[in-house]
């Protein structure tokens, strides 16, 4: 039975209008986005199947074009739609961080970093450059490497901070292998960068290790 033949209170779109988007399940939200199903499947059936196959709504939305096109009823148009949603989410979080002191809501920073680099298939290192009020001024990509390495250099971090008159910095890099535990190399490099920045009267506040699902703060682990 297609969704249009369901009772009105069970239809995702009508439910959203009556109760709000937060009342909908992941399957119902995705069904609204898909709009139509395939032969013999409603949009809700297709949404449920896609989430089951990928493991989660997040995993589906972050899948690449080749992966999306493998699923029956999906194609390039669906991939581009998901890519737009991801980018809008990133930009909304970026605006939220720009408008708020960073360390009043550190979870917002973690969410931003996950959306910014957590989905990357190779290691990417970034620096968040902050002003005296701990507000984000600029996000700088320092390096982009292989699946398990991206080289960053102390002088490049220092040069980025000085050129933008940053008072403090948050470093972050992703681990495509899905582990957020810092390596001994991560710890050694972070301490080296912190020492160099101290000489320039610039504070290194934290270094986050990021995946699509979670983040680890080296400051919280007392590793700086």
Q: Is 187 left (phi over 0), alpha (psi -120 to 50) or beta?
A: alpha
Please give the pLDDT value at position 149. Answer: 66
Please give the pLDDT value at position 18. Answer: 87
SS3 call for 122: coil
Please give the pLDDT value at position 1. Answer: 45
pLDDT at 9 over 80: no
36-61 per-position pLDDT tens digit: 888 878 888 899 999 999 999 988 98
Q: What is the CA radius of gyration of the chain?
A: 21
Please give the pLDDT value at position 145. Answer: 79
182-210 per-position pLDDT tens digit: 989 899 999 999 999 999 999 999 999 99
Confidence of residue 3 (pLDDT cuts 50, 70, 90): low
Q: Are 146 and 123 in contact (CB under 8 A)?
A: yes
Go through 68-93 and write b for each residue having 16 or more CB atoms within 10 A of its CB, e for each that does not: beebeebeeebbeebeeeeeeebeeb
- Find the helix or strand (DSSP H, E) in which 211 lies: none
CA-CA distance, 55 to 194, in Å (whole number)? 39
| Mean per-residue pLDDT, 7-24 | 80
104-126 per-position pLDDT tens digit: 666 778 888 888 898 888 899 99
159-181 per-position pLDDT tens digit: 999 999 999 999 999 988 778 89
SS3 call for 74: coil
CA-CA distance, 183 to 5, in Å (whole number)? 55
Report the DSSP pairing between strands 168-174 and 136-144: unpaired
The 10 Å Cβ neighbour count of residue 168 is 19
DSSP 38: B
Strand partners, 128: 139, 170
- Find the helix or strand (DSSP H, E) in which 115 lies: helix 106-117
CA-CA distance, 57 to 52, in Å (whole number)? 9
CA-CA distance, 2 to 44, in Å (whole number)? 9
């Amino acid at each position: 039975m297609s969704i249009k033949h369901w009772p009105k209170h069970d239809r995702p779109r009508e439910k959203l209008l009556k109760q709000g988007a937060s009342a909908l399940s992941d399957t119902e939200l995705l069904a609204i986005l898909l709009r139509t199903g395939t032969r013999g499947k409603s949009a809700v059936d297709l949404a449920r199947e896609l989430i089951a196959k990928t493991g989660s709504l997040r995993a589906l939305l972050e899948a690449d074009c080749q992966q999306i096109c493998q699923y029956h009823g999906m194609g390039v148009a669906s991939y581009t739609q998901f890519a737009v949603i991801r980018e809008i989410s990133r930009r909304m979080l970026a605006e939220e961080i720009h408008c708020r002191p960073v360390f009043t809501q550190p979870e917002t920073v973690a969410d931003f970093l996950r959306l910014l680099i957590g989905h990357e298939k190779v290691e990417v290192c970034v620096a968040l450059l902050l002003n005296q009020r701990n507000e984000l001024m600029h996000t700088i990509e320092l390096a982009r490497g292989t699946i398990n390495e991206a080289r960053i250099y102390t002088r490049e971090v220092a040069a980025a901070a000085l050129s933008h008159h940053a008072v403090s910095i948050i470093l972050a890099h992703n681990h495509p292998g899905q582990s957020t535990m810092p390596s001994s190399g991560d710890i050694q490099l972070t301490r080296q960068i912190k020492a160099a920045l101290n000489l320039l009267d610039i504070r290194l506040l934290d270094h986050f290790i990021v995946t699509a699902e979670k983040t680890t703060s080296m400051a919280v682990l007392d590793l700086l």
